[in-house]
Amino acid sequence: MQRIKVKSASRTLEVLELFMEERRPLRLNEVYRALCYPQSSATNLLKSMVMMGYLNYNRATMTYLPTLRVAALGSWLPSMMNREGGLVSLVDEVQRRTDETVGLVAQNDLYIQYIILKTPDHEYKMAPSEGTMRLMVDSSSGIALMSRMRQREIDKLYRYTRHYALGGDALPTFEELMREVRWSHEVGHAYLPKRPTPELASIAMPLDIDLYGIPLALGVGGLVDRISRAKQDIIDVMTDAIASFRARHEAGGATASDPILSAA
């Protein structure tokens, strides 16, 4: 059983993502060709987005462009993530000290999602985009988060992943997953070389905090040979940075009722 997306909702977001990639005004034909939509459907969708104030239509050039109302939708998120010691600062510190791609990851239903991503300047990287989602049961950050869960919670995640036919034959068995989760719980981190991409490896640790009830993890990833060679150094940096991050919160008097530091 596949999960079914609501077509109108997914197309609206795909249009906005296209503008994010192109970063310029677009004509109607550019939109429907890039996204493989029927012309009539694209016309109605773009007109609706103009009526709602999310797109601007320039009749002189016959082009569309997102309005600042789109930016306002998530404008409150950076300040929320930066307060109480700074999740952004944590990502920046670990990236600077490891010189690899570093991401703050949140659980999103059956997936993990990169909500803050910082990449190195060098060319040895294959970084995802912010907002990218991967299955919890087949990612280092997902395993790190599951290392703080009860087995019945993990079993439920796994069964739903199978029920919706997510991941196909590449998924580990439940026994394999639990071995990885138990190992992660014991050593304090998850390490997945060559998964889900053969050229990449990643190391992840749970932050043991949540964001308005959403569990968070920190991940460091890059080309498999670079990550495997520097594995212990990366683990040491992550451990130190996360410990300092939590100490700043505790010194500031954060409590379990605080939305960014309630225990997971």
Mean pLDDT confidence for 210-222: 90
The rounded mean pLDDT for the chain is 88
Average pLDDT rounded to a whole number, residues 242-247: 91
State both tokens at 73.
């939708």
Q: For residues 225 and 126, give the distance between their C-alpha atoms in angstroms, rounded to a whole number.
A: 13
Superfamily for 77-251? Answer: GAF domain (3.30.450.40)
Q: Is the pLDDT of residue 251 over 80?
A: no
Mean pLDDT, rounded, for 47-68:
93
pLDDT surpassing 70 at residue 3: no
Residues written for the chain: 264
For the four alpha carbons of 212, 214, 217 and 223, in that order, the dihedral sign comes to negative
Residue 222 has pLDDT above 70, yes or no: yes
- Rounded Cα distance between 120 and 4, Å, is 36
> Strand, coil or helix: what is 206?
strand
> What is the pLDDT at residue 241?
97
pLDDT tens, residue by residue, 162-214: 998 888 888 899 999 999 999 999 999 999 998 778 899 999 999 998 887 88
Average pLDDT (67-82) is 77
CB 65, CB 19: distance < 8 Å: yes
Report whether pLDDT(260) > 80: no
DSSP state for residue 63 in the 8-state scheme: E
- Exposure string (b/e) for 238-262, b if CB count within 10 Å is 16 or more? beebbeebbeebeeeebeeeeebbe
pLDDT of 109-159, one tens digit each?
999 999 899 999 999 999 888 888 999 999 999 999 999 999 999 999 999
- Residue spans of the domains in the chain: they are 7-72, 77-251
pLDDT value for 165: 87
At 264, is the pLDDT very low, low, confident or very high (cuts 50, 70, 90)? very low
Predicted local confidence at residue 258, as pLDDT: 46
pLDDT band at 106 (very low <50, low <70, confident <90, very high): very high
Domain 7-72 has CATH 3.40.50.300: no
Under 8 Å between Cβ of 136 and 184: no
pLDDT at residue 17 above 50? yes
Mean of the pLDDT values across residues 26-55?
A: 94
